């Protein structure tokens, strides 16, 4: 069993309140879950309006498949209009 882990730090420039942030994060998390069949959750910076840390995990029987799933997820996050990807870290093992 191979587990791939992805940690993302994103900026939400349009958020003027935690309510704005929650709306955007909830939408992004829902799209990620539906499109990539991965577990995803907000893992940090919960009290900041414009910064969010997300974690995603995928389980596979091949490391190259797990890595390609997480790479596709990063590309999808980069193409989102309401957010800016600041940093990410991928671990597969």
Structure tokens that stand for 19 in this block: 């309510």
> How far is 14 from 83, CA to CA, in rounded Å?
8
> How far is 44 from 51, CA to CA, in rounded Å?
9
Q: What pLDDT is attached to residue 37?
A: 86
Q: What pLDDT is attached to residue 93?
A: 86
3-class secondary structure, 47: coil
* Cβ neighbourhood burial of 64 (10 Å; 0-12, 13-18, 19+): exposed
Q: What pLDDT is attached to residue 45?
A: 82
Q: What pLDDT is attached to residue 47?
A: 86
What domains sit in the chain, N to C, each tagged with a CATH number?
Answer: 2-92 (3.30.70.1120)
Stretches in the chain below the pLDDT threshold 70? none
- What digits encode the pLDDT tens for the residues 33-49? 999 889 999 998 888 98
């Amino acid at each position: 069993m191979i587990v791939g882990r992805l940690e993302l730090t994103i900026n939400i420039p349009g958020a003027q309140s935690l309510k704005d942030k929650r709306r955007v994060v909830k939408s992004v998390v829902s799209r990620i879950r539906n499109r990539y069949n991965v577990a995803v959750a907000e893992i940090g910076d919960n009290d900041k309006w414009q910064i969010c840390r997300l974690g995603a995990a995928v389980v596979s029987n091949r490391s190259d498949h797990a890595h390609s799933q997480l790479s596709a997820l990063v590309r999808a996050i980069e193409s989102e209009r309401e957010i800016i990807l600041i940093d990410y870290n991928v671990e597969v093992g």
